[in-house]
Structure 1
Amino acid sequence: MKSCSFRWRQQFRRAYPEEFLKKSDARGKGEYHIDFVPAPRITEDDKINDKKSLQRALDRRLYLILFGDSYGTRKGQDVWHFPEKVYKSEETLRKCTESALESVIGDLSHTYFVGNAPMGHIAMPPAEKNKDTPSFKRFFFKSQVIATNKVDIKSKDFVWVTKDELFEYFPERSEYLTKMIIS
């Protein structure tokens, strides 16, 4: 029985040339060896602290916040806020979120929504100065800008900020944002 399997293996065995077998021994020793130098993580936009650019803080996540009129504030009182829209007639909260983001950045072909459910919400009591607005809930969805370095933002003013910089714009919500945003 053993001799039969031995003959069968010998019959279909391949004989490789010596120079082919020696190629694997020479791996990493030839002229083709290239020294890889990674691109720097600190960009020109980091050096000048350009918060309107996506080409900064490349090792961190950036969050888009807008300066302008926000729901729950008095008319004409501009504040920093995330892209937002009042939920009225959309099928789902996700559709409402897509609509809100589309009104700010236009084309959504370079965005990816992480899931269909909000990542968090916060109950907003009526502002002391603005008793006309009833209490409401503000839902947060996570989305990512992918495959592009430039987005045309339609707003009075905007910034792309890291998590640490986010607390400078929302100091009263820092505890909540710390719990909601993991990294």
Structure 2
Amino acid sequence: MQRRWTTPLMHSLRSFSSSSSNSSSSDKIVASVLFERLPVVIPKIDPIIYAFQEFSFRWKQQYRRVYPDEFYKKYESRGKGDYQIDYQPAPRITEADKTNDKRSLQRALDRRLYLLLHGTSYGSPDGNPVWHFPEKVYEKEETLRKCAESALQSVLGDLSHTYFVGNAPMGHMAVQTADKADTLKQRFFFKSQVIATNKFNIGECDDYVWVTKDELLEYFPDQAEYLKQMIIS
């Protein structure tokens, strides 16, 4: 007989289904969006990896094929044309890096950046503005992902430069709200990525930042351990 294994996430989805008789009306489901910008440039090679590649190259040089001198002379005498290409690579350190402008997407080009908003969040203490992800309380949307799309759209205005990765949430967190001791906030995280743009008109918030994973964890010290495992960068 084949056994079926259930996970805590499946139990949570079942118990908080709108059709479940065990669902509490005081419990809320929140869809949050982890909106990320992928690296723009290739990250620098780790010194250990670079040392290994250098060793590997020198080792292979011992067994490379040796060609006669006439071959190299013919190669050097080949016509090179009268053209010249002047190529200047873009700097890895931008002006936004130098000024620590966290509202710019033109920073930390070799890292992933994540969008955080400052404003009123569901369940924040006394309704005070806090740093949070784009989010929306699930109401009557067709799916939870639709709710997440609506949350991001309310901030960006449109989703033409976004891509949602999959239909299922990437993570789940149950948080006790500060205003009511018997109210749980079931937060489901969805991943979305920046596509073909380096600037957004962010609205519906007091302030916003684009931060790396390490910087993001400083904004959420209580959930840092969980977010560290959920976010892969």
TM exceeding 0.5: yes
What does 1:45-84 align with in structure 2 at a 5 Å threshold?
45-84=96-135
- Which structure's CA Rg is the greater one? 1
Cα distance, 1:55–1:134 mapped onto 2, change above 3 Å: same
Helix, strand or coil at the partner of 2:172:
strand
Shift of 1:73: 1.5
Helix, strand or coil at the partner of 2:87:
coil
Contact 2:124 2:177 in 1 (8 A): no
* Counterpart residue number, 1:131: 180
Shift of 1:114: 0.7
In 1, Cα distance between equivalents of 2:164 and 2:150: 12
* Counterpart residue number, 1:164: 214
Identity %: 71
Shift of 1:64: 0.5
In 2, Cα distance between equivalents of 1:170 and 1:131: 21
More strand by share: 2
What does 1:109-128 align with in structure 2 at a 5 Å threshold?
109-127=160-178
Aligned match for 1:149, one of 198, 207, 210:
198
Measured on the aligned residues, the alpha-carbon RMSD in Å equals 2.1
In 1, Cα distance between equivalents of 2:81 and 2:212: 44
Contact 1:72 1:133 in 2 (8 A): no
In 1, Cα distance between equivalents of 2:121 and 2:207: 13
Aligned match for 1:89, one of 135, 140, 149:
140
Moved over 4 A (4+): none
In 2, Cα distance between equivalents of 1:32 and 1:123: 64
In 1, Cα distance between equivalents of 2:85 and 2:172: 50
Structure 1: gaps of 5 or more residues = 1-21
Higher relative contact order (CA closer than 8 Å, sequence separation 6+): 2
Cα distance, 1:133–1:54 mapped onto 2, change above 3 Å: farther
In 2, Cα distance between equivalents of 1:26 and 1:146: 44
Helix, strand or coil at the partner of 2:136:
coil
TM-score, normalised on structure 1?
0.80
